[in-house]
Amino acid sequence: MRKPLVAGNWKMYKTVAEARHLVSEMVPGLQAIEGVEKVICPPFTALLAVRALLEGTEIELGAQNLHWETSGAYTGEISPLMISELCQYVIIGHSERRTYFGEVDDTVNRKTQAAMMHGLIPIICVGESLEEYESGMTEEIVDRQIRQGLAKMDLQEKSAQQGQSPLVIAYEPVWAIGTGKAATAEGANAVIANVIRASIAELFGEEFASSTRVLYGGSVKPDNASEFFMQPDIDGALVGGASLNSSDFISITRAAAT
Ligand code: PGA
């Protein structure tokens, strides 16, 4: 019922020329994979070039961040209106944004509302830090991030209009991002089922929760991807490091199709 989704988060890597090269390498392999939604999220500067290369393919484009205002005197920021001209998706509240750029649940909430208002599908990132994990606070932290990140929204109405959940969640334990130490597939599935989907069900109803895709992210590689995708509540992956290598990203995406 939920179509798997694999998204590549390029972070602050790749010039325009490098982005063109990487995307050209990826397109044939990705195009050959059916039954999975594929999203590439390059830096803002490469969006236009990558978009041109994706034209006529089924591969979609995402941005890595946005401001919540439509326009205004916000030097250096990019608005949802601008992003919606180019992309279908936008990553919101990635742990690197929370750690280095002061993003909190309230900014995640504003950005999510703004993204949806402009027809973008937000990929909202949640996840506990190593310290929180070690002190047994995973449930409390992730539950709070979901409830505050999605506060004051009438999502049921939106999904009824669109016929599907208007958002995607990515569960990314901070200690697993870029460390090579992925969560266990069972552990990630348990957080997604018992905390993320359960909180979404309380907020917006069972039907909405079961139509919302939840990805796992954090050191997903070709050799561990299928373990995650076999889990009943994991609907795909948000891939960082391995999305910068075409054959790795293609194999991870292929694993989501089987
Ligand atoms: P990683 O990053 O795959 O390099 O661990 C994941 C992410 O930050 O989304």
Give the range of the structural domain holding residue 61, as residue numbers without chain letter.
5-257
DSSP-assigned letters across all residues of 90-122: EEES-HHHHHHS---HHHHHHHHHHHHHTT-EE
Locate tokens 């890597």: which residue? 13
Q: Is 238 in the pocket of ligand 1 (CB under 6 A)?
A: yes
For residues 179-191, give the mean pLDDT. Answer: 96
Q: Does residue 94 carry a catalytic annotation? A: yes
- Give CA torsion, residues 62, 24, 12, 37, to 10 deg: 30
Q: Is 219 in the pocket of ligand 1 (CB under 6 A)?
A: yes
The CATH number covering residue 219 comes to 3.20.20.70
Q: Is 177 in the pocket of ligand 1 (CB under 6 A)?
A: yes
Ligand 1 centroid–CA 241 distance in Å is 6
Share of the chain above pLDDT 90, in %: 94
Closest protein CA for atom 7 of ligand 1? 240
Q: pTM of the predicted model, to two decimals?
A: 0.97
Q: Is 245 in the pocket of ligand 1 (CB under 6 A)?
A: no
From the candidates 60, 128, 172, 227, which is the catalytic residue? Answer: 172
Domains held by the chain: number: 1
Q: Please report which confidence band the pLDDT of residue 1 belongs to, taking 50, 70 and 90 as the band edges.
A: confident
pLDDT, position 159: 74
